[in-house]
A and B are shown apart, each in its own frame.
Chain A
Amino acid sequence: DEPAEAKDEL
């Protein structure tokens, strides 16, 4: 399933 949110920050 999909991750909770795209973690594109550090």
Chain B
Amino acid sequence: REAGDMTHLFSIIVLLLKINATKSCSGVSLKTQELYLLVFVTRYLDLFQSYISLYNSCMKFIFIVSSGCIIGYMRKHKVVSQTYDAEQDTFRVAFLVWPSFLLAAVINQKLSVMEILWTFSIYLESVAILPQLVLLQRTKNVDNLTSNYVFLLGSYRGLYLLNWIYRCLTEEGYRQWIVWISGLLQTAIYCDFFYYYLKSWRKNERLSLPS
């Protein structure tokens, strides 16, 4: 789990570094970033309500603030915002948001606003990368930082899968089917990307996804 959290954190650092160092967000999907902000805000509504650990609270805070930062850069920064590929980033996010919300309203652990929003965030996260993957496929010569970002972001849920297997074996009564199935789907969506990422990495070439 720690490795998963760190990979998640590194993915964000890599993305912020890329944007800040190159003053460019080309190849980065604003739609995916906005979906992630929605995921974090709806999942971490309990930030001020239930305290688990300083670590958890800090990470929640970092995830919300950093995705807000990335969106701010892409929308408002006078240099960076001009490098955003708006014509290419055309995924219709309503097709991800509404089904996730309806599914969360039907399949959840408890019928309450907080619980439905939390479940919604789990479902939405599992598909939030799709606009980014579509944009990558449309971009020729994806830069290394962007492909590293997607690789780290994809690895994070994969590492959580290992954590869940471990917890399931060692903790009595530890079951969370909604999170497990969503996490499996989330990782499966990256399989194709992982294949081409590792292939280009081995050949020491820039990543380009077949269209």
Residues of A within 8 A of B (CB): 3-5, 7-10
Point out the residues of chain A lying under 8 angstroms from B8, CB to CB.
Answer: 10
Name the residue of chain B whose CB is nearest to the CB of A4.
Answer: B109
B171 to chain A, nearest CB (A): 11
Candidates A4, A5, A10; contact of B5 at CB < 8 Å: A10
**Are the C-beta atoms of B1 and A9 separated by less than 8 Å?**
yes
**A7 and B160 form a contact (CB under 8 A):** no
Check A4/B60 contact, CB under 8 A, given A9-B160, A10-B5: no
Check B59–A10 contact: CB distance below 8 A.
Answer: yes
- The residue from B5, B46, B63, B108 contacting A7, defined by CB atoms under 8 A apart: B46
Chain B contact residue count (CB 8 A cutoff): 19
| Known A7-B118, A9-B1; further 5 A-B contacts with Cβ < 8 A | A3-B50, A3-B115, A4-B108, A10-B60, A10-B63
B52 at the interface (CB under 8 A from A): yes
B56 touches A8 (CB 8 A): yes
For residues 152 through 170 of chain B, which have their beta carbon under 8 Å from a beta carbon of chain A? 160, 163
CB distance from B44 to the nearest CB of A (A): 9
User: Complex Cα distance A8/B60, Å?
Assistant: 11
Across the interface, which residues of A come within 8 angstroms of B46, CB to CB? Answer: 7
Report chain A residues within 8 Å CB of B110. Answer: 3-4
What per-residue 1/0 map shows which CB atoms of B114-135 lie under 8 Å from chain A?
Answer: 0100100000000000000000
| A1 CA to B60 CA, complexed, in Å | 24
Of all chain B residues, the one with the shortest Cβ separation from A6 is B52
The distance in angstroms between the C-alpha atoms of A8 and B1, with both chains bound, is 11
Q: List 21 A-B contacts (CB under 8 A).
A: A3-B110, A4-B108, A4-B109, A4-B110, A5-B109, A5-B176, A7-B46, A7-B50, A7-B52, A7-B118, A8-B52, A8-B56, A9-B1, A9-B160, A9-B163, A9-B179, A10-B5, A10-B56, A10-B59, A10-B60, A10-B63
